[in-house]
Amino acid sequence: MKNINIYLVRHGQSEGNTVDPDVIGQPASSPLTKLGIEQASLLGKRFATDKVKFARCFSSSFIRAAETAKIITVAIDHKEPLYLYNELVEYSPGDWRGKVRADVFSQIENVRKVGALNMGFKFPNGEALHQVERRAAHWLEEQIIFNDRVLAAAEKEELNYLVVSHGMTIRCLLHYVMGFDQSFVWNINIDNSSITHLKFGDRGWYLNCLNDTSHLDMNKIGK
């Protein structure tokens, strides 16, 4: 079996990422900013320059992710459809959505609950990160790594898949793949338009790179 390469990409900067003070969550309809469009364009150019061809391109159904994925697919001249999935969306913070993060975590009871339960903490009327991991990992198994069509194709050639999602959802997938202590989920940087490259093959999983943003030229971007 040849390697199956999965490129987990976080969406470019969205309007929700620029809110000050920092709030918890953002709506599904939050679009990319001008900077976010630039970031996605630079990422698309990187894939084009590296001549990375994707068997399929997948994205979260949230607008900021779908916009990022569309910009990439145009840059690499990907002719196949872009597939959108609800299983790849960001976690739901429920009743905490839109609340100032510093205010929520200034309450010691909230800090205690999150610290004690970690990925098992269920946001009020929202999701627990364990639930996010289950839905995203089940999608990954069904669509790629345990998919009979994909496995048959991987017997003949190495395959690449683009998966555009969100920071916490990507962290949850990393927990599924790597099995690290769940408290570490909160302490991994997944920056806007970053690449996290996973390989799956006969020897199991390998993390090839994490949070790679080398395509972003900070001396030119935004000018």
Task: Give the pLDDT score at 197.
Answer: 98
Strand 4-10's sheet: what is its strand order? 82-85, 56-60, 159-165, 4-10, 195-201, 204-212
Q: Which long-range contacts (CB under 8 A, 24 or more apart) does 180-183 make?
A: 182/118, 182/119, 182/129, 183/118
The overall pTM is greater than 0.85: yes
Question: With pLDDT > 70 as the criterion, what percentage of the chain qualifies?
Answer: 97
Would you state the pLDDT for residue 219? 52
Q: At residue 218, does pLDDT exceed 80?
A: no
pLDDT at 177 > cutoff 90: yes
Domains annotated for the chain, with CATH where assigned, are 4-212 (3.40.50.1240)
Q: What is the pLDDT of residues 131-158, one digit of tens each?
A: 999 999 999 999 999 999 999 999 999 9
Query: Across the chain, what does the average pLDDT equal?
Result: 95
Query: For residue range 76-121, what is the model confidence (pLDDT) as tens digits?
Result: 999 999 999 999 999 999 999 999 999 999 999 999 999 999 999 9
Q: Is the pLDDT of residue 223 over 80?
A: no
Task: Render pLDDT for 3-46 as a digit per residue (tens, 0 to 9).
Answer: 999 999 999 999 999 999 999 999 999 999 999 999 999 999 99
Mean pLDDT within 52-59: 98
Proportion of the chain above pLDDT 90, given as a percent: 96
62-87: average pLDDT: 97
Q: Taking 70 as the threshold, does the pLDDT of residue 221 lie above it?
A: no
Q: Averaged over 185-210, what is the pLDDT?
A: 96
> Is residue 217 very low, low, confident or very high in pLDDT (cuts 50, 70, 90)?
confident
Question: What residue type is 111 in one-letter code?
Answer: V
Tell which residue, 201, 206, 194, has the closest CA to residue 39.
194
Give CA 75 to chain center in angstroms: 19
